[in-house]
Amino acid sequence: MAHLFNRNVLLGVSGGIAAYKSAELVRQLLEQGATVRVIMTRGAQEFITPLTLQALSGNPVHTELLDAEAELGMSHIELARWADLLLIAPATADLLARLAGGRADDLLTTVALATAAPLLLAPAMNQQMWRDKATAANVATLRARGCALVGPASGEQACGDIGPGRMEEPAVIAATAASLFETGLLAGKRVVITAGPTREALDPVRFISNHSSGKMGYALARAAADAGARTTLVSGPVTLPAPDHVRVLQVESASQMLEQSLQLLPECDIFIGCAAVADYRPAAVAVQKIKKGPEEISLQLVRNPDIVAAVAASENRPFTVGFAAETQDLLAHARDKMARKGLDMIVANDVSDRSIGFNSDDNAATVLWADGEQVLALAGKAALARQIIELIAGRLVTADKCN
C-alpha cells in the first residue's frame, strides 16, 4: 500500500486562487505519514497566510530566498537536500514557465533547481491559459525532464469559465504523491540490516564504542520496507525512533549482533551490514567499576568476530552487502574488503569528510560490485538509501537472469 511514512515532503505554494486548498493538502499529507515543510511565493501569501500553513504543518514556512534569519536555520540548499519530494500545488502558468526556463529568481524555483528529489506539479489556472500553446510547450518540457503532473481537473472555475484548469483535489494529490514511492522493487524479499555502533564493556559503567549514529542503517531499513521487503533491523545502541513497518532487534555488543544476525539467516534473502562494529573488545570485563589507580594502565584487546564475513561465508548465504567507512584510499580499501570478505556489493564512503561522516544527515558514496561501480552524489541519507536499495534490486535481477 502506498504511503508517505518517513517521507519529507516540501510543499511549494504559488500565487493562484487554488492556494486556499493548500491548507487541506498539508493535512492530507500529514495523514499519509509525511513530514511537511512549506515554501510560499509572494503571490501565494496574498491568498493564504504563512501562519496558517505553519500551524498545520508544525514547521516554519519559508518565503524568501535571501533571508538571513532563515539561512542561519534551514537554508535553501538544506531544504533542497532535506526533501524526498518537491510538490508544487498550485502550480500556476507563470510558475510552469519559470520552471521550464530553468529560472531561479525566488526561493521556490531555486530549490526546484537545487534538489535531487522528484518533482510533482498540480497545475491550476484559467482553462484558456491551460490550453494555450505556450503552457502546453512548458508542460511538455517539464514532462520530458521527468516531472510528474497530477491534474488539472475540469469544472467551474473562480472566473466563471468551465473547463480544464482546476487544481486537483488535495486527497487525490496526496495519494498521487504517495504512489511515487510505491516501488515494490524488493516485494516479497526478506532483508536483514545491521545498524549503529556496538559497545564493548570494560566494566559495569564503561565501554569502547564509536561515533556511529545509525542514521544510514535506519534509512536503509525504511527504504527496504518501502520497496516491499520484510525488513528486520539489528540495531546497536542509538537514539533513533524505530522505522515504521520494520522489526527492530536491539543489541549491545558485536558478539550479540553476530548471534542475532546468524539466527536470522534462515529468513534472509539480503543482508546489509551497515553497523559500525567495534573491531576489538577487552579481553576481560571487570566485575566491578575499575577505580582510578596508577598513572598508566594497559588494556588488552582481542579481535571481535567479523559479522558480514561470517554471513557471506554461511551455507545458503544471502546476497551480502557491506560498508567501508574509510579515511584514505577509499576505493582501493573498499575493493580489497569486498574481495577478502566475499561480499556481493560494498558501499564505500569517506568518513574523514565531516559533512558526510558519522552523525551527519547527508552522505555520499561509491557502490562497488564485481564488475562495476556507481557513484552516488551528496544527498540526504534517506535519498541515498533509496538509491542503494535500487542498485541492490538491480543486481538481484541480474543474478536471477544468470542463474
Q: Which three cell numbers stand for residue 180?
A: 511515487
Q: Name the phi and psi angles at 86, rounded to 5.
A: -105, 115
Catalytic residue among 159, 268, 274, 402: 159
Active-site annotation holds for 159: yes
First to last CA, the chain: 31
Residue with cell 515554501: 39
* Per-residue H/E/C for the chain: CCCCCCCEEEEEECCCHHHHHHHHHHHHHHHCCCEEEEEECCCHHHCCCHHHHHHHHCCCEECCCCCHHHHHCCCHHHHHHHCCEEEEEEECHHHHHHHHCCCCCCHHHHHHHHCCCCEEEEECCCHHHHHCHHHHHHHHHHHHCCCEECCCEEEECCCCCEEEEECCCHHHHHHHHHHCCCCCCCCCCEEEEEECECCEECCCCCEECCCCCCHHHHHHHHHHHHCCCEEEEEECCCCCCCCCCEEEEECCCHHHHHHHHHHHHHHCCEEEECCECCCEEECCCCCCCCCCCCCCCCCCEEECCCHHHHHHCCCCCCEEEEEEEECCCHHHHHHHHHHHHCCCEEEEEECCCCCCCCCCCEEEEEEEECCEEEEEEEEEHHHHHHHHHHHHHHHHHHHHHHC
**Catalytic site positions:** 159
